[in-house]
């Protein structure tokens, strides 16, 4: 799935840009939030639940609840 594919993607050109753009489009979130998610994932590894992302720029409980139905772990 799109949340945990960072290890397979390392080393490919433009991966970071594609990842955050895909998140923006799929989850309908701002670029700043999508970039923060990609950065968090690259630093912390797999994301096991959306609540881990609370506190990232633009990511609050309201947004988490809005996108929950679109994300599968």
Q: What percent of the chain has pLDDT over 90?
A: 48
C-alpha span between 32 and 62 (Å, rounded) = 16
Q: Specify the pTM.
A: 0.74
Residue 41: in which H helix or E strand, if any? helix 31-44
- Nearest-Å Rg of the Cα atoms of the chain is 11
Low-confidence ranges of the chain (pLDDT < 50): 1-2, 4-13
């Amino acid at each position: 799935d799109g949340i945990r594919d960072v290890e397979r993607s390392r080393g490919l050109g433009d991966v970071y840009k594609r990842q955050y753009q895909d998140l923006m489009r799929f989850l309908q979130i701002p670029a700043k939030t999508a970039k923060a998610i990609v950065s968090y994932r690259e630093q912390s590894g797999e994301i096991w639940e959306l609540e881990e992302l609370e506190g990232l720029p633009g990511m609050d409980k309201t947004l988490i609840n809005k996108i929950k139905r679109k994300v599968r772990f």
